[in-house]
């Protein structure tokens, strides 16, 4: 300790409680707005294709981050809301480190016909299963309840 | 919605979204409420400062090298870059260094009865060393820079060890003993 | 490039899981004061520029930069915040000195993560708000809904809440990445556990490492799966600690009464923030190290580097980074670990300090903790854990979940 | 030390709320800057991001989240931050990347998306205060400015009309700016004086609006400047300085930190008499009195003299010392860090004659840009020179 005095009574150190609470409203952005408006009405996804490097971006963007070109409206494509599970993990704790009531299978899904992936939760009771390589599809909320966020996808389920 | 080019160079666009667009859901958005809470350790200086406030006293710290009396107290002197030396009790009176008459509440909502707020240099501390606090028992048109003020403390039972243990500062009338 | 840059002062606080007796200010003062005393300089006169590495949400302030200058001696002096790991601070200090306008620059980084009660939620806050965050759980908080003044109240933190509203801990991403690494390289979970055993044992020899433990592979393997295949003991626990380093140009360093340790090269790089378009490998470390090797004229890192401190915030990360840095061939890091090459007495000691697994995860200070260990080793002051004949050492750090950014610094005598 | 040039600049529209995400805004500004000097992503060696509090965008470590929009994928990328000072500090960080010889071409991007913080960015400002001695009083950001303004007005005996003139000048100057949020050709001093009182002496039109926006700047070494530009503008001096955290222990009437930063920058660019040698300036003007305060801090006039110069018209675009010819923050908008667009990009546009309707008629050679940040604490100064 580099000071001339220290606290010696263990009851004297104090703490001050506070927060940085605020609410956030994230606009979807130009690409996101088009995507989320699409999934309100459809059970499919949208992706964008870079005209130069031909990479298909999912989630869609208005620019290619590698070539740094703007992606024109003509290069948007509709794709099925399906994919292959590339990786998965079984999450058992919440942000406080407390056990979740039910573990969740979080997976990284390679969306069909694109070079992109999406995080998703697989609904299953069998946690011992090998999820890698299985095909899954998105299960959406009923159309009248969709709001245009990722929450419109309830979970992913295995396609037999 | 793109802005037409007005002069060289061609400026980048942007798409304006109004509050109405959001309320009418013309635009999609994602809502998120993070959970960000803290319990800062206060260390010796602030711990003692708050404990003394609970007792109805204001305490400062001295630096022998630059001969300053510091309020709020701290364990080190930022000018000399050395530990500070001693605790010293200060008076609960002072002078208004600057002030504002606020018609805004903390959430930027408008209010009718303004909040009087300012910086008070505390008597006994070095010149212009003070704290921010409220003023009370005076009208907005009475306040001025240089006014002598004194602290009004909350009743002892209500004090919790916080800067709000001082209710506010009120003017010292002419002739009144400090 | 005619100038050279040396580390001329090091200082650090005690590392501990909680530090209730000091505020963040006193904590930083302690580390900086020690570094200045080590270099034999007066910060108010001699230091030309100050850099702090910090992120607002870890500290609990919208603008943390405000609360920095007093305790590091920077009042009315040039001072800035670099939002990055401590090694980014070293990089920027190096560049400032190389401009010729600055002679001595101080870099500070700290973790006072015990102040952040909801550190899990804070890390989650770094995920992409549109395509990543929402999958972790509900968007609403429980307590504050409908209360407009919540933002200014200071309630006691909520701990131990009900479960239906809880959000998944953000470290799930490490679970995914670990699965990728194990599958790709054929490394086993046991081999990852060996990293934990090694680092926690090394930590016994380091007086400031507080997560030392005499664990066995079975202990690690027996700890519960939090994010399968990632287990509880594979994860470095949070720790508080502050580290400060003083850098100087060669002309000035020669005048000071310390043995200069030269910063021979450094590099840093970032991959895409999109989970969907980045690699699951540690390409950022490869790119950063290539830049650093080039600057330090290192052609064969395996032969030329004597000691390394590598980011090991998750056990598999040490092995993954080792391969990314070119210190092991792809898939062979685990073999080196098994044959003892990475031990204190091995051919390339890794994380002699105990690393993040042995010291704790000190967030943005991780890089400086790594640099601190390399400098201590190169000076020959590492005591029981001193590695013999060290000439060149490398420190590497990563910015943590969910980023793909990292930096590398190479030091030499 | 290597010479450092500015060869391209870009800036998006500034508005209270923009649909684009932070990444997309960064992309748009970067794209404009790249097209300005015809360089591509592969030419860029390193990227510097400047962005103010994470609490606005609502993304922890937001620098990491923004990087793909700033052309930084697979490149060395760093974010620097010192509150409101970031707008000028990010190009300073870019300067040391190039001046040190580590990089040849550096892209500097500044982004701010304040509208994400709902319902008002004000919420984020509640957390800039000291948690122990300030936050329990539930302070509002405007209080801080009101107290500083009051102190400044009282010490120099300045009338509110003289301060209101700054708001009028800047909002009128902004008329020619394609990105401007609050340009107003017809605004008068009376409009400002009659606007709603927020926290006396601050009134509604004394304040610049919160905005979303981004700006970008491309800076490079001397050799590269010759390759990519016919008319590079040189970064001649930089300075930054921070004052003590304890703002209640300081006299707020004069920004000594800005003066220190200015002295550092002037020394580097060998300016001995700033009043004579500097042709125009872009001091930081989030509030109208701040422009005056900072003119004094930049040593462009004596203490207390700035309101007089403003009253006499010296600081108009066609005056002897044009101040904020861009329209400043008061006219164009205040997306904290992205104000690099007015404070540094504008210097480049003015010095290279690309400012269009906003062009200063007197053919300026030297311009100074300045930003201010933290809690009345941080001064960042940059000097740009032509030829």
Neighbouring residues of B55: CB distance < 8 A, sequence distance ≥ 6: none
Radius of gyration of chain B from Cα atoms? 24
Residue A146: the pLDDT is: 93
- pLDDT over 80 at C278, yes or no: yes
Distances (CA, A) of C189 to A157, A159, C221, C315: 28, 30, 8, 9
What residues in B contact A10, CB-CB < 8 Å? none
Dihedral Cα D330, D336, D341, D344, nearest 10 deg: 100
**CA atoms of D286 and D337, how far apart (whole Å):** 12
N-terminal to C-terminal alpha carbon distance within chain C: 19
pTM of the model: 0.94
Length of chain D in terms of residues written: 387
Q: What are the distances in angstroms from CA D276 to CA C38, C325, D247, D300?
A: 45, 54, 33, 9
Q: Which residue has the tokens 């200045």?
A: C36
Q: What is the pLDDT of residues B96-116, one digit of tens each?
A: 999 999 998 876 788 999 999
| Contact B161/A at CB under 8 A | yes
| Shortest Cα distance, chain C CAs vs residue B37, angstroms | 6
Partner residue opposite B41 with nearest CB, options A15, A36, A40: A15
Q: Do D20 and A23 touch (CB under 8 A)?
A: no
Kindly indicate the confidence band of residue A96, based on its pLDDT and cuts at 50, 70 and 90: confident
Q: If pLDDT is split at 50, 70 and 90, which confidence band does C98 have? A: very high
Interface of A with C in 11-50 (CB under 8 A): 13, 15-22, 24, 26, 28-29, 32
The pLDDT score that the predictor gives to residue B178 is: 54
> Is residue C143 pLDDT above 60, yes or no?
no
Q: Which of C314, C317, C296 is nearest to C305 (CA)?
A: C296
Tell me what pLDDT residue A101 has.
84
CB atoms C60 and B38 under 8 Å: yes
Share of chain C above pLDDT 70, in %: 94
Number of domains in chain B: 1
**pLDDT tens-digit series, residues C334-373:** 999 999 999 999 999 999 999 999 999 999 999 999 999 9
pLDDT tens digit sequence for D125-183? 888 999 999 989 989 889 999 999 999 999 999 999 999 999 999 999 999 899 999 89
Name the phi and psi angles at A85, rounded to 5. Answer: -75, 120
Q: Per-residue pLDDT for D96 more than 70?
A: yes
Q: Which of B99, B102, B129 sits opposite D249 (nearest CB)?
A: B129
Written as one string, the DSSP assignment of A32-71 is: HHHHHHHHHH-SEEEEEE-TTT-PEESS--SB-TTT--BP
**pLDDT confidence of residue C151:** 39
Give the span between the Cα atoms of A29 and C357, in whole angstroms. Answer: 40
For residue B2, pLDDT beyond 80: no
- Say whether pLDDT at D89 is over 80: yes
H or E segment and range at residue C49:
strand C49-53
Put simply, whether B161 touches D (Cβ < 8 Å) is no
Q: Which residue in A has a C-alpha nearest to residue C30's C-alpha?
A: A2
Q: Each residue of A68-93: pLDDT tens digit? A: 999 988 889 999 999 999 999 999 99
Q: How confident is residue B1, by pLDDT bands cut at 50, 70 and 90?
A: very low
User: Per mean pLDDT, which range of B2-6, B107-111, C41-45, C100-104 is the poorest?
Assistant: B2-6
Interface residue C139 vs chain A (CB under 8 A): yes
b/e per residue B70-101 (b: at least 16 CB within 10 A): bbbbbbbbbbbbbbbeebbebebbbbbbbbbb
Specify whether the CB–CB gap between C267 and C397 falls below 8 A.
Answer: no
pLDDT at C154: 42
Portion of chain D with pLDDT greater than 90, in percent: 87
Which residue of D64, D69, D254 to mutate against C (max C Cβ within 10 Å)?
D64
CB contact at 8 A, B79 and B66: yes
Domain extent, residue B87, equals: 43-171
Interface partners of chain B (CB pairs < 8 Å, 3 or more) are: A, C, D
The average pLDDT across C79-95 equals: 95
The answer to whether residue A118 scores a pLDDT higher than 60 is yes
Q: Across residues B68-93, what is the average pLDDT?
A: 94
- Angle at CA of residue C358, ends C352 and C364, nearest 5°: 95
Mean pLDDT computed over C59-76: 93
B window 97-156, beta carbon within 8 A of D: 97-108, 110, 114, 117-119, 126, 128-134, 140, 145
pLDDT at position C142, please?
A: 55
Task: Give the pLDDT band (50/70/90) at residue B175.
Answer: low
Least confident residue range of B8-12, C80-84, C233-237, D57-61: B8-12
DSSP track, D81-99: EBTBTHHHHHHHHHHHHHH
* Chains touching A by CB (3 or more pairs below 8 Å): B, C, D
Q: Please say if the pLDDT value at position D369 is more than 60.
A: yes
D200 in contact with chain B, both atoms CB, cutoff 8 A:
yes
Q: Nearest-CA residue of chain A relative to B29?
A: A27
Mean pLDDT lowest for which of A105-109, C137-141, C221-225, D162-166? C137-141
Q: What is the pLDDT of residue B37?
A: 85
Torsion B66-B70-B75-B78 (CA) sign:
negative
Residue C341's Cβ-count burial label (10 Å; 0-12, 13-18, 19+) is middle
* Disruptive mutation site among B2, B13, B28, B52 for chain A (greatest number of A CBs within 10 Å): B28
Residue A139 is encoded by which pair of tokens?
């299960």
User: What angle is formed at CA D290 by the lines to CA D278 and CA D182, rounded to 5 degrees?
Assistant: 95
Distance (Å) from the alpha carbon of C232 to chain D's nearest alpha carbon: 25
Q: Is the pLDDT of residue B6 over 70?
A: no
Q: B176: how many CB neighbours lie within 10 A of its CB?
A: 9
User: Are D96 and C122 a contacting pair at CB < 8 A?
Assistant: no
* Percent of residues, chain B, with pLDDT higher than 70: 91
- Is domain C5-114+237-412 classified as CATH 3.40.50.1980? no
Domain boundaries, chain C: 5-114+237-412
ipTM computed for the complex: 0.94
Query: Which residue from B minimizes the CA distance to A34?
Result: B28
Is B5 a domain residue? no
Residues C107, C74 contacting (CB under 8 angstroms): no
Please list, in sequence order, all residues whose beta carbon lies within 8 angstroms of the beta carbon of residue B23, skipping any fewer than 6 positions away.
none
- Residue C146 banded pLDDT, cuts 50, 70, 90: very low
**D11: chain B residues, CB-CB within 8 Å:** 11-12
Distance in angstroms (rounded) separating the CA atoms of residues A126 and A119: 19
Distances in whole angstroms, Cα of residue C311 to Cα of each of C345, C391, C400, D144 = 20, 21, 9, 42
- Cα B64 to chain centroid distance, Å, stands at 27
Determine which of B22-26, C159-163, C312-316, D129-133 has the lowest per-residue pLDDT on average: C159-163
As to burial, measured by CB atoms within 10 angstroms (0-12 exposed, 13-18 middle, 19+ buried), residue D301 is buried
D24: contact with A, CB 8 A cutoff: yes
Q: Has residue B122 been placed in a domain?
A: yes
Closest partner residue to C225 (CB to CB) among A22, A90, A101 is A90
Q: Identify the H or E element spanning D331.
A: helix D328-332
pLDDT, position C144? 44
Chain C contacts of D90, Cβ < 8 Å? none
HSE, side-chain direction, 13 A CA sphere, residue D140: 26
CB contact under 8 A, B76 and C117: no
pLDDT at B176: 63
- Taking 90 as the threshold, does the pLDDT of residue B59 lie above it? yes
Q: Which residue of B has its CA nearest to D244?
A: B78
C245-260 per-position pLDDT tens digit:
999 999 999 999 999 9
Give the confidence band of D81 by pLDDT, cuts at 50, 70, 90: very high
Chains contacting D (3 or more CB pairs within 8 Å): A, B, C
Beta strands (DSSP E) in A20-160 are 23-27, 44-49, 56-57, 76-80, 82-93, 99-111, 117-122, 135-140, 153-158
Average pLDDT over residues C33-51: 95
Give mean pLDDT, residues D245-249: 93
Instruction: Compute the residue count for chain B.
Output: 178
State the best of C124, C161, C173, C277 to mutate against chain A, taking most chain A CBs within 10 Å: C277
Count A/C contacts: CB-CB distance under 8 Å: 154
Query: What is the average per-residue pLDDT within D39-55?
Result: 93
Residue D229 reports pLDDT greater than 90: no
* Alpha carbon distances (Å) from C159 to A15, A94, C118, D345: 16, 11, 8, 48
pLDDT at B120 over 70: yes
D4-119+209-386 classified as CATH 1.10.10.10: no
User: Residues 29-88, chain C: which have Cβ within 8 Å of D?
Assistant: 55-57, 60-63, 65-70, 74-84, 88
Could you read off the pLDDT of C313-334 as tens digits, one per residue? Answer: 999 999 999 999 999 998 899 9
The pLDDT assigned to B72 comes to 93
DSSP assignment of C277-320: TS-SS-HHHHHHHHHHHHHTT-S-HHHH--EEE---SBHHHHHH
Interface of B with D in 50-79 (CB under 8 A): 50, 70-72, 74, 78
Interface contact B30-C44, CB threshold 8 A? no
**For residue C163, what pLDDT band results from cuts at 50, 70 and 90?**
low
Supply angle C-alpha A32, A34, A36, rounded to 5: 65
The stretch D338-347 carries a mean pLDDT of: 95
């Amino acid at each position: 300790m580099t000071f001339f005095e220290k606290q010696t009574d263990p009851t004297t150190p104090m703490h001050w409680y506070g927060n940085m609470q605020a609410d956030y409203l994230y606009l979807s952005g130009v690409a996101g707005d088009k995507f989320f408006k699409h999934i309100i009405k459809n059970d499919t996804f949208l992706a964008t294709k870079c005209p130069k490097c031909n990479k298909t971006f999912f989630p869609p963007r208005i620019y290619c981050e590698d070539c740094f070109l703007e992606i024109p409206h003509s290069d948007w494509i509709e794709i099925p809301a399906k994919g292959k599970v590339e990786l998965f993990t079984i999450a058992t704790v919440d942000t406080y480190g407390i056990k979740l009531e039910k573990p969740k299978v979080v997976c990284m899904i390679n969306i069909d016909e694109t070079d992109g992936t999406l995080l998703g939760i697989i609904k299953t009771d069998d946690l011992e299963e090998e999820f890698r390589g299985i095909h899954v599809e998105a299960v959406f909320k009923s159309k009248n309840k969709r709001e245009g966020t990722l929450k419109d996808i309830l979970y992913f389920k295995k396609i037999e | 919605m793109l802005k037409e080019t007005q002069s060289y160079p061609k400026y980048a666009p942007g798409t304006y979204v109004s509050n109405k667009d959001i309320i009418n859901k013309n635009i999609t958005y994602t809502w998120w409420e993070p959970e960000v809470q803290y319990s800062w350790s206060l260390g010796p200086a602030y711990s003692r400062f708050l404990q003394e406030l609970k007792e109805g006293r204001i305490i400062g710290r001295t630096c022998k090298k630059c001969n300053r009396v510091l309020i709020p107290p701290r364990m080190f002197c930022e000018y000399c870059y050395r530990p500070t030396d001693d605790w010293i009790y200060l008076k609960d009176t002072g002078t208004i260094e600057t002030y504002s008459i606020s018609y805004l509440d903390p959430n930027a909502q408008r209010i009718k009865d303004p909040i009087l707020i300012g910086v008070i240099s505390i008597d006994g501390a070095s010149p212009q060393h003070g704290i921010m606090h409220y003023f009370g028992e005076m009208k907005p048109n009475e306040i001025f820079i240089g006014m002598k003020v004194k602290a009004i403390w909350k009743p002892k039972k209500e004090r919790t060890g916080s800067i709000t243990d001082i209710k506010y500062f009120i003017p010292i009338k002419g002739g009144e003993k400090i | 490039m005619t100038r050279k840059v040396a580390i001329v002062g090091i200082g650090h606080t005690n590392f501990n899981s909680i530090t209730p007796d000091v505020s963040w200010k006193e904590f930083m003062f302690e580390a900086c004061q020690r570094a200045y005393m080590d270099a034999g300089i007066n910060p108010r006169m001699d230091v030309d520029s100050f850099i702090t590495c910090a992120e607002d949400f870890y500290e609990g302030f919208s603008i943390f930069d405000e609360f920095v200058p007093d305790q590091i001696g920077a009042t009315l002096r040039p001072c800035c915040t670099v939002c990055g790991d401590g090694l980014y601070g070293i990089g920027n200090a190096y560049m400032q000195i190389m401009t010729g306008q600055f002679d001595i620059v101080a870099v500070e980084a700290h973790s006072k993560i015990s102040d952040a009660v909801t550190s899990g939620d804070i890390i989650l806050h770094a995920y992409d708000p549109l395509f990543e965050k929402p999958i972790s759980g509900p968007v609403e908080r429980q307590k504050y809904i409908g209360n407009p003044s919540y933002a200014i109240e200071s309630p006691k933190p909520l701990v131990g809440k009900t479960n239906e509203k809880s959000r998944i801990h953000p470290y799930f991403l490490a679970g995914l990445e670990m699965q990728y690494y194990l599958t790709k390289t054929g490394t086993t979970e046991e081999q990852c556990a060996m990293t934990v055993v090694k680092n926690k044992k090394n930590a016994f020899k380091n007086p400031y490492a507080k997560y030392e433990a005499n664990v066995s592979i079975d202990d690690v393997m027996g700890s519960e799966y939090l994010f399968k295949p990632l287990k509880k003991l594979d994860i470095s626990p949070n720790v508080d600690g502050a580290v400060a380093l003083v850098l100087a140009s060669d002309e000035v360093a020669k005048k000071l009464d310390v043995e200069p340790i030269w910063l021979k090269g450094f590099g840093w790089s970032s991959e895409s923030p999109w989970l969907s378009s980045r690699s699951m490998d540690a390409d950022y470390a490869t790119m950063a190290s290539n830049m650093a090797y080039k600057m330090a004229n290192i052609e064969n890192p395996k032969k030329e580097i004597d000691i390394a401190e590598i980011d090991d915030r998750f056990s598999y990360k040490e092995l993954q980074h080792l391969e990314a840095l070119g210190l092991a061939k792809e898939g062979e890091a685990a073999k080196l670990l098994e044959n003892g090459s990475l031990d204190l007495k091995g051919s390339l000691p890794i994380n002699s300090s105990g690393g993040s697994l042995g010291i704790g995860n000190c967030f943005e200070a991780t890089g400086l903790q790594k640099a601190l260990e390399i400098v201590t080793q190169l000076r020959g002051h590492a005591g029981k854990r001193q590695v013999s004949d060290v000439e060149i050492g490398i420190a590497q750090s990563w910015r943590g979940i969910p980023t793909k950014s990292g930096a590398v610094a190479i030091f030499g005598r | 030390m290597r010479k450092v040039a500015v060869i391209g600049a870009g800036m998006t529209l500034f508005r209270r709320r923009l649909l684009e995400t932070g990444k997309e805004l960064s992309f748009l500004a970067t794209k404009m800057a790249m097209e300005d000097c015809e360089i591509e992503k592969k030419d860029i060696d390193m990227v510097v991001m400047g962005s103010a509090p994470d609490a606005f965008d609502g993304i922890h470590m937001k620098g990491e989240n923004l990087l793909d929009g700033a052309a930084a994928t697979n490149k060395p990328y760093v974010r620097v931050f010192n509150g409101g000072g970031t707008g000028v500090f990010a190009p300073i960080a870019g300067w040391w990347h190039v001046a040190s010889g580590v990089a040849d071409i550096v892209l500097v991007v500044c982004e701010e998306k304040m509208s994400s913080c709902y319902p008002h960015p004000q919420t984020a400002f509640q957390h800039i205060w000291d948690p122990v001695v300030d936050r329990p009083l539930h302070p509002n950001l405007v209080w801080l400015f009101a107290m500083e303004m009051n102190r400044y007005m009282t010490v120099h005996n300045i009338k509110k009309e003289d301060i209101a003139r700054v708001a009028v000048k800047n909002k009128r100057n902004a008329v020619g700016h394609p990105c401007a949020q609050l340009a107003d050709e017809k605004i008068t001093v009376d409009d400002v004086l009659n606007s709603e009182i927020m926290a006396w002496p601050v009134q509604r039109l004394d304040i610049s609006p919160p905005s979303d926006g981004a700006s970008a700047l491309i800076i490079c070494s001397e050799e590269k400047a010759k390759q990519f530009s016919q008319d590079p503008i040189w970064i001649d001096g930089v300075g930054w300085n921070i004052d003590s955290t304890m703002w209640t222990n300081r006299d707020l009437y004069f920004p000594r930190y800005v003066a220190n930063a200015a002295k550092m920058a002037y020394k580097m660019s060998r300016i001995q008499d700033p009043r004579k040698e500097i042709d125009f300036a872009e001091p930081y003007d989030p509030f109208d009195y701040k422009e005056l305060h900072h003119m004094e801090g930049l040593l462009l006039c004596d203490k207390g003299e700035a309101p007089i110069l403003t009253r006499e018209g010296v600081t108009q675009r066609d005056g002897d010392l044009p101040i904020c010819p861009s329209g400043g923050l008061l006219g164009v908008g205040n997306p904290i860090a992205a104000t690099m667009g007015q404070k540094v990009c504008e210097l480049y546009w003015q010095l290279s004659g690309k400012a269009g309707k906003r062009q200063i008629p007197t053919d300026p050679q030297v311009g100074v840009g300045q930003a201010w940040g933290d809690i009345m604490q941080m001064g960042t100064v940059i000097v740009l020179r032509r030829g």
